[in-house]
Structure 1
C-alpha cells in the first residue's frame, strides 16, 4: 500500500489488500465503562427524581439556570415564530426540502389488508401508527435542521399522534432554523434538554416530559449509550456510527467533483470515512492530485485531512464487477455510482444504505432535499438494515377470525401439533371448537 501525503492508496492486486481493507473498515463504537457508568447514573436519577433531576443535569451540563422544566419548554407558537422570523431565502429552502421529503415518504405508507378464505375464515394485517415519538436533535455547535426534517416528517406522515423533540441549548443558544424545521415537520413540543438525561426523560417520563414509545435521532457517545440502555423500554432507530461515503468512478467524472464529494463526508468528523474505487489508474492519480490541490481551501481542512488520513482510501480494482463486489463487502452508508449506465450497476449492488446514480447526483443532495431519508445504516449494517422511513413509526397487528368451519379445520391441525409438544391445554382449547 502506498500513501500520498493525505490519503492511502490500495490496489486489489496487493497481497495484503484484504487485511488492509479490513483494518480500514474496522469500527467499534462501544462505549467505555466510564461512559456506561455515568449514563447509568443519570438514567437512575431521572427515573427516581424526574423533573428535578432533569433540570439539575441541564443546568449543570448546558450552563443554564432554569428553575423548572417549564422554563425549558418551547410551544408550537414559539416554533411558528421561529419559522416566520427566518430570512426569506432560508424559509423557502426549508419549505422546499420539507415538501420533497414529505412527498417521498407519503409513497412509503403501507396499508392494512385482509382476505377471506373459502370457509369464511378471515386473515389480515392491521397497520397502526406508534402513539408518541421522541426526536433527539443535536444542539450547540452541531445544529442540523435537516436532521429534524428527516426524523420528524416520516413520523408525521405515519400518523404518529404526538411528536416530542429534545434539543440541548448550551449557554442558552437556540438555533432558529432547527425550531423552524420542527414547525414544518409536525413537532408539537420542544424541550431544550440534551444528553443522556434527555434520552432517559423520553424513555421513562419525568412528570413534565411525557414518556414516548420510540426515540430516534443522532447524538454523541452519551446519547448513543443511553439509547442502547433504554432499548426495550422504548424502541430506538439505530446506534449510528460515523458518516461514510463510497464513490465508484469509471474515470469519466471531473476529479475535482469527486474530491469534493469525498470531502463532504470527511468534514463531518475525524472518524468519518471516504473511499473511492476505480479501475482507471490515471483517474485515481488525478483524484489524488485534486485532493491535495483543493484541501488547503477548505474551511474544515484539519478535520478533513485527519479523516482522510485515518480512514480514507483510493482503491484501484480490476473492473466494474470487482467494484460491485467491493461495494457489497463494504456495505456503505452512502454509495455514489459516478459511472456510465449507473442504473445497471445499481441493480447489481446488494448492500448500500442509499445509492446516488450518475455523475450529476452528488450525495449531499440526499443530505438535504432530494427526498429519501438521510438517516441510514452505517458501519456495514446496510447488510441487514434500511433507511429510516414511515414504516419505522408504525407497527403491525395480525388479524385472525375463524368461521365455525375454519375452527374445525385449523383446530384439528393445531391439536395434533400441540400434543406433539406435550401442551395438553393448547390441544384441548383447539378441540373445544371442533365439530362433533
Structure 2
C-alpha cells in the first residue's frame, strides 16, 4: 500500500502547494497510475480526507511538533497518517505508521525518518486533544468542521446555530454523483434500463424529475454517456434551468456558460430556439461546443468568447427572451467536491465577487425583452453573493421585479423567500442559490 500512500502524498502536495484543484488533480493522477482499484480508492480517501479535515488534523498535530520548522511534505505526511489513525478504522495504526516511516526514509534523510517516527509514536502513546474542550464556540465549530472562523461567523449570521451545525456535519461527507437524462433524445425509464443492464445502480432524484443518483458503477465509460443520453451534473445545478419558464422557441443567453452543463440543459428545452453561450476563455468555448455535440444539441447552441460584462458591444437591447447568469462565485456550496477552496478564500474575496456579479447583471439587464426573465444563480451559500447581489441589482433596475423561483418538483415550496437556497445538508446535494427576475412590460 506504500505506493498508494506515496501517490496520495504527491497529489496532496500539488493541491496544497501548487493550488491544483483536488478533483482534477486526482483524476489526472489516477488515470496515469497502474494502481489496483482498492489502492485507487485508498488514494481518493486519503486525498479528500486530509483536505476535508485539515484544520482538525493540524489542531491535533500541533502539540507534537511544537515550534519546530517542518518541511511541507513531511507535515503533509504526518497529517495523512494522523487522518488514518482518527478516521480509517479498517487501517491498523501500525500499518499506517510503518508506511509513513518507509516514505520518510525514501524521500528524506535519517533525521527526517527519526523525526517522523518520534512524532507518530508520541501521538499513538498520548492520544490527541479533545475538540470539545475548546471554550470559544466559533473556534470549536471551526476546528470540528475544518472551516475558517470567518466562514463559520458568516454562516451563523445567515442561518443560525442549528442550521450552521447541520451544514458543518454534512460538508465533509462524500459527495454522491448524479446524472441528468437528456429527455430530448430518450426517457428516464429507458436510461434506467440501459444502465442497469450495464451493471450500474441508480435511484431517482427526489428533487429533479429527469435526474438519477448513481449508487454503483462508472458512468463516464458507458455508451449512454458517450452518446449523450445522459450527462454528469449535480441535482442542485440542474434546478437553475429547471426553474426557468422556457418555451420551445425562446432565444436564451447563458452569460457565464462554461463548461456548458446548463447550456445543453437549456438547449434540450428549446427545440425551435437558440442558446448563445458566453465564456471569457477560448479553451472553455471548446468545452461548451464539445458538450453540445455529445448531447446532440449543437445545432441549438452558439458558443462565443466574450466577457459577460461586454455584452453591449455584441448584442442588441431586448434580444433575448431569457438570460441565465450562473455567476462566478466563491463556490462554498461545493465543499464536498472541492474541499480545498475553504482554505484559500477570504471574506474580501466574497465581497469582490459580489461586485463582479452585480456588474454582470447590470450589463445583461438591457438584453432581456420586456416580459422576459433574468435568472441569477450561484453555487455558494453566502448571502453576500446571493440575496445581497439580487437586492443590489433590483435597487438599480426598477424595471425588474423579483418573482418566486419555482421548480418542477416544488422544491422547498413552503419557504418564505422568493429566492431559493439549497443548503448542503438538505438533500445531500451541492449548496446552490437561484433567483428569478421578470422584466416589466
Q: Same fold (TM over 0.5)?
A: no
| TM-score, scaled relative to structure 1 | 0.26
- Considering Cα pairs closer than 8 Å and 6+ residues apart, tell me whether 1 or 2 has the greater RCO: 1
| TM-score, scaled relative to structure 2 | 0.26
Q: For the pair shown, which has the larger CA radius of gyration, 1 or 2?
A: 1
